[in-house]
């Protein structure tokens, strides 16, 4: 679940690990973007989106959004667990800092400098130099597959990233859809290859662990795909198909 196509990265990761999994994608086009909303309003919408997904009796629910994880995870767990495990998405600051840095965290302006993100830095990046980089307009540009806006937003964030940074944390799930563009913009001549840390792979693996399933990337069976748009049956938004993750999911058999 997510307000928009930021959930593609984690969903595609699940698809690669378990091609036989039946997938339910619950989006909120009527309420997006969630970022500018108050925590209370965001939580209300997130619970509605989660309940729409829960009606399909999933084995687990992935919250494919950093902002919704920050504000709505307790409410979602209170609503759905223990019947449906709820897996949140947390920026990969801990593994990024383990590499020694320097580290840049690319995140939405609302998350950059927040008590939540500062707490993660304090807990997991002690002794590592971390720069918080606000990425104005990048999530929105990715959501709409606006090529011109993506180029401009990535360039603006790269200009705020110190030249000696060796590791970038992708602190918004939308950013994982344009990871290679970010890499190309931040990589500096003479430095080792830039390391990017997203959350999708870890979140997908955690979801499988929570339900006691093992990865089976070689499975022959193909799972189905159900898309919910603010609770209504629908299809993947057209911008999703401009990304490799969206095209991978488009190949999944629609649920009958």
Point out the residues that are catalytic. 65, 172
Q: Is the peptide bond before 82 cis (omega within 30 degrees of 0)?
A: yes
Q: For 171, which DSSP code?
A: -
Phi, psi of 232 (to 5 degrees): -95, 145
Cβ count within 10 A of residue 210: 16
Q: How far apart are CA 230 and CA 255, in angstroms?
A: 18
Q: How far apart are CA 180 and CA 183, in angstroms?
A: 5
Per this entry, what is the length of the chain?
A: 256
Side-chain-side CA neighbours of residue 67 (13 Å): 28
By DSSP bridging, strand 224-229 and strand 23-27 are: parallel
Query: 241 forms bridges with which residues in the sheet?
Result: none
| 29, 109, 160 from 228: Cα distances, Å | 10, 28, 37
Nearest to 89 by CA among 112, 117, 69: 69
CA dihedral 147, 149, 36, 96 (to 10 degrees): 80
> Collapsing DSSP states into helix, strand and coil, what is residue 190?
coil
């Amino acid at each position: 679940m997510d307000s928009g196509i930021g959930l593609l990265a984690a969903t595609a990761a699940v698809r690669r690990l378990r091609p036989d999994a039946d997938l339910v994608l619950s989006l909120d086009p009527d309420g997006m973007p969630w970022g500018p909303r108050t925590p209370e309003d965001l939580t209300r919408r997130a619970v509605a989106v989660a309940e729409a997904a829960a009606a399909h009796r999933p084995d687990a629910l992935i919250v494919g959004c950093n902002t919704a994880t920050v504000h709505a995870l307790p409410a979602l767990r209170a609503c759905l667990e223990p019947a449906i495990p709820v897996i949140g998405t947390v920026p990969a600051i801990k593994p990024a800092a383990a590499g020694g840095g320097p580290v840049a965290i690319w995140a939405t302006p609302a998350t950059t400098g927040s008590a939540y993100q500062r707490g993660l830095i304090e807990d997991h990046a002690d002794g590592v130099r971390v720069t918080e980089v606000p990425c104005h307009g990048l999530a929105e540009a990715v959501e709409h597959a606006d090529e011109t806006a993506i180029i401009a937003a990535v360039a603006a964030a790269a200009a705020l990233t110190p030249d000696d940074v060796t590791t970038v944390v992708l602190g918004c799930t939308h950013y994982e859809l344009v990871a290679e563009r970010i890499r190309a913009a931040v990589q500096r001549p003479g430095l080792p290859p830039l390391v990017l840390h997203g959350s999708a792979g870890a979140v997908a693996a955690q979801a499988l662990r929570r339900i006691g399933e093992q990865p089976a990337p070689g499975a022959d069976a193909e799972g189905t795909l159900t898309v919910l748009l603010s609770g209504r049956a629908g299809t993947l938004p057209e911008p999703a198909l401009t990304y490799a993750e969206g095209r991978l999911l488009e190949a999944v058999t629609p649920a009958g």
